[in-house]
Amino acid sequence: MILPINSIQNISIFPFASDVERLRMQTTMVVLSMPEMIEILAKIDKKTCVSLITCKDAKLLKKSRLTKNPTPYTGMVVVTTITNLFIGEHYTNAVNKTRIDEGKPADFEVGKLPFGQWLNGSSTIIVDGDKYYLRTLSFADEPSTSKKYYYDALQNRHELDELGEYLPAKTTVGEHSEQNISGLILPLTFSMDTVSMVFDEDHRILYTIR
């Protein structure tokens, strides 16, 4: 079903509706159920640039990391993230292509998934029980960009700097050092329960919650 964006009656329920407008998505959208979109994503088998809009409760610390004052936003904040990534290419193949380009043997191998299994041989969708996850890749030479917006229960917007002291400190894990390539390729996994919209590089929405 193709509908003009301004005809979607419940678009205002998304706290990031204004951000969607800024992304020039006032064209058309394909309104699908999650199972329908999972089926489409699972069939993508070549490197494809997409942007994701995810929406989930923010995981904040109980106290400020700086002042130790209680977090005033606990239980009130939702984080909306807009991220540019790639889907459709298997992690192993992506790393080995880079190794070949750099004159190295294509002998990089990945172990079993830490959870779940690939859906019908897909390199895009992981299924674990009744939960589905979207596997994406971030390339060092084509870095992803991520913008985080926090909204409280009254839809007031908070920038990252305002909440930084209440967010867990970032950690770096060296589990991908065995790639032995000049630019790290990072696999990132998103729960489909948190994905609100998927759109391509031409800003055509591929998926939105029905």
DSSP state of 162: H
Residue pointed to by tokens 């006032």: 26
Domain residue spans in the chain? 2-208
The per-residue b/e assignment along 20-38, b for 16 or more CB within 10 angstroms, e otherwise, is: beebebeeebbbbeeeebb
Instruction: Per-residue pLDDT tens, the chain, 210 aa: give them.
Output: 222 333 333 333 333 444 444 444 444 566 778 888 888 889 888 888 888 888 887 788 999 999 999 988 866 787 778 788 899 988 888 989 988 998 999 988 887 888 999 999 899 999 999 999 999 998 877 766 667 777 777 777 777 777 888 888 764 444 454 677 777 888 889 999 888 878 766 555 555 655
Q: What is the pLDDT of residue 177?
A: 47
How far is it, in rounded angstroms, from Cα 3 to Cα 78?
Answer: 27
Q: What is the pLDDT of residue 11?
A: 35
